[in-house]
Amino acid sequence: MDEMTTLRELRADAPVPDRSALAPGRRRLTETIASGRRARRLKADWRVAAFGAAAAITVAAVLGTQLVDAAAPDRSGPASTTGTLRLDSPAEVLNRAADALEKQRAAPEPRDDQWIYTKTATAQLDNLPEGSFSHDSDNWVPYDNSAAARNGKDDDYRTSLQVYRAANELPDDPARLLAKVRSFYPTGHPPESLPEPEAVHSFRAMGLFIQAYPIAPRALARVYRALATVPGVRVTDHLVKDAAGREVIAITREEDGTHQQREILIDPTTFGYAGLRFVVTEDYTFQLKLPPEKFKAGQITLSEARVEAAVVDAEGEKP
């Protein structure tokens, strides 16, 4: 069996790699290789080279055996800015979220010389008790990061400025909006990769828009309404825990051809982006690892939370 065939079979049991999914594992690998030196900035793309993608996915799969979602079902729904919200329909949740966002006043767009500060928490899946969380990370990126976009970034890289303005121009019609988002974040398959189905592409690309910061409330509202129309989108019927231990809403879609689902996590009060998870949907055995490794339904293979985000005037400044 040649190497590319092995890699294709490996990816059959793992989510399509993208910049949000691979960032935590790649950051840990980068820091290890650098012998403890802090990486200046993780190149977070979703089109990594085939061998790099296989390695990152394998790391996530191996580490993912440690953590299982222990959130107890609460079907009464969370308290939100629009009152009690029942978690029994993605359209109900996302349209109610959109209604609330449309009532919010947008902050002024950042200046081109300002910076975007984010603080993230990544679930530490290796060698810690179930439910433990660690690895906080502070990051600063120029709002107008056009220099980086031109030098050393792949074709899918988008600056915060580009995303903010593109989001404001998205149409109201869900079908047209989804087409625009897929065009903004093109699939860009390498020749050796299998084509990405349209619904998978839509959910992944919409997730990137939702996690963007800043994004105007009305623009995010349009994104939520369109997200509710993507085939296969569901909502978990109880609040789940993000990587910071907070209770959040999980908007989910099973990754076609895998045993996992991607979860976009939303704050149940503000309806802002809270984080991302990948969760095993059924028991299965990862045969390409020796010895074969068993995964259980409900097991979390990746979890990352955005704890804080703000516009600041300089690199290193915190709100």
C-beta atoms surrounding 268 within 10 Å: 21
**Considering only 53-62, 113-122, 197-206, 297-306, which range has the smallest mean pLDDT?**
53-62
CA distance 278 to 276: 7
- Give me the percent of the chain exceeding a pLDDT of 90: 52
Judge contact between 227 and 251, C-beta under 8 A: yes
* Exposure class string for 11-38: b at 16+ Cβ within 10 A, else e: bebbbbbbbbbbbbbbbbbbeeeeeeee
| Per-residue pLDDT tens over the stretch 84-98 | 788 999 999 999 999
Residue 105 token pair:
């006043």
Return the SS3 of 73.
coil
- Please, are residues 38 and 207 in contact by the beta-carbon 8 Å criterion? no
Instruction: Give the count of beta carbons closer than 10 Å to the beta carbon of residue 70.
Output: 11
Within 10 angstroms of residue 265's Cβ, the number of other Cβ atoms is 30
Residue 78 pLDDT greater than 80, yes or no: no
Largest CA distance in the chain: 58
User: What's the pLDDT band for 290 if we cut at 50, 70, 90?
Assistant: confident
